[in-house]
Amino acid sequence: MDLRGRSFLKESDFTPAEWLGLIDLAAQLKAETAAGQEPQRLTGKSIALIFEKTSTRTRCAFEVAAFQQGAHTTYLDPSSSQIGHKESVADTARVLGRFYDGIEFRGDLQTHVEELAEHSGVPVFNGLTDSWHPTQMLADALTIREHTGKPFNQVVHAYLGDGRFNTGRSLLVSSAMLGMDVRIVAPPAYQPDAEAVQIAQSFAAQTGARITITDDVEAGVAGADVISTDVWVSMGEPKSVWNSRVEDLRDYQVNTRVMELTGNPDAIFMHCLPAFHDLETAVGRQVFEATGMHALEVTDEVFSSRQSVVFDQAENRMHTIKAVMVAMLT
């Protein structure tokens, strides 16, 4: 697998074999790190990290992964650059491409990360946009492999909640690339758009994946090996959508009943985090005051259970992001 010089913008830019190759590379790098025998393949490289949206896992994963591989990073938050304000994305790309070996971007528009790749002349990595979340999908796949012990084409992966945005769309496509039985379980108004479904179906024709999009929770989770969800209100959305969103999605909360409906005592729970599973956050308390719900997309009983692998999943962000940088910069 030779991905040198390529950008990492969305899942569908890669073949299923290349996607699997990145997961295999991440597993290799994780094992090297655990053994304390990790060659530094990125020594002398410099990587710009552009964050229009705040982050915990994505920023830390890129910084730690780069450090462990010998690379230097520069963090640019919204106040640290002129991108989109006094300088166009294209002009910013042309400048940063002269300084850096690679550029990470986390922000709203997919067109921005695409422009950076087009004009910078160096590999660009999508840390998240409103449309796609490919680094998260590699971490999810590595976690599924580690915890189910099954080949991907034998895994049943059900996602509950809002399937319209980056996580739901990317999960549908990535799971299809890996040949899974993938189900998006959401009310009709919250199901993935036609573009994402078409992309997933095209991969399913290659890999044998099975795709189900349904509003029936019981049927959607039956036999699942993996139950995934995400927050019900995405970053940047106004607070005014909370009440209607909670009302629309409350029947799609991941709780003990949902885990039992899988009929699989070994089913695992995954969430890309942060999760609103208790009242220990300001947002959680505000939502409780407005709706009376102690948890939103997942109950604390499930989040804190033996079936929850969310923190292994979070750790794997670092190993899989490291694999992306190593594959594209060396």
Active site (catalytic) residues:
106, 133, 136, 230, 272, 317
**Fold agreement (11-132+316-329, 136-315):** yes
- Regions of the chain with pLDDT less than 50: none
Q: What is the pLDDT of residues 152-186, one digit of tens each?
A: 999 999 999 999 999 999 999 999 999 999 999 99
Q: What is the residue type of 254? A: V
CA dist 316 and 303 (Å) reads 18
CA dist 107 and 126 (Å) reads 9
User: What's phi and psi for 185, nearest 5 deg?
Assistant: -110, 105
Closest CA to 190 of 151, 244, 260: 244
- For position 53, what pLDDT does the model report? 87
CA dist 275 and 314 (Å) reads 12
CA dist 33 and 155 (Å) reads 27
CA dist 305 and 267 (Å) reads 11
Q: What is the pLDDT of residues 271-297, one digit of tens each?
A: 999 999 999 988 888 878 888 899 999
Q: What is the pLDDT of residues 35-48, one digit of tens each?
A: 999 999 999 999 99
- For position 284, what pLDDT does the model report? 84
Q: Which two tokens stand for residue 85?
A: 């304000």
Cβ–Cβ < 8 Å for 6, 117 = no
Question: DSSP code of 42?
Answer: T
CATH class of 11-132+316-329: alpha beta
- For position 235, what pLDDT does the model report? 62
CA dist 323 and 318 (Å) reads 9
Q: In what order do the strands lie in the sheet with 102-106?
A: 72-76, 46-51, 102-106, 124-128
| CB-based burial label for 189 (10 Å; 0-12, 13-18, 19+) | exposed
- For position 309, what pLDDT does the model report? 98
The string of DSSP letters for 316-329 reads HHHHHHHHHHHHHH
pTM of this prediction exceeds 0.85: yes
CATH class of 136-315: alpha beta
Q: Where are the domains of the chain?
A: 11-132+316-329, 136-315
CA dist 30 and 32 (Å) reads 5
- For position 236, what pLDDT does the model report? 67
Q: How far is CA 73 from the centre of its chain?
A: 21
Q: For tokens 């295999």, what's the residue?
A: 24
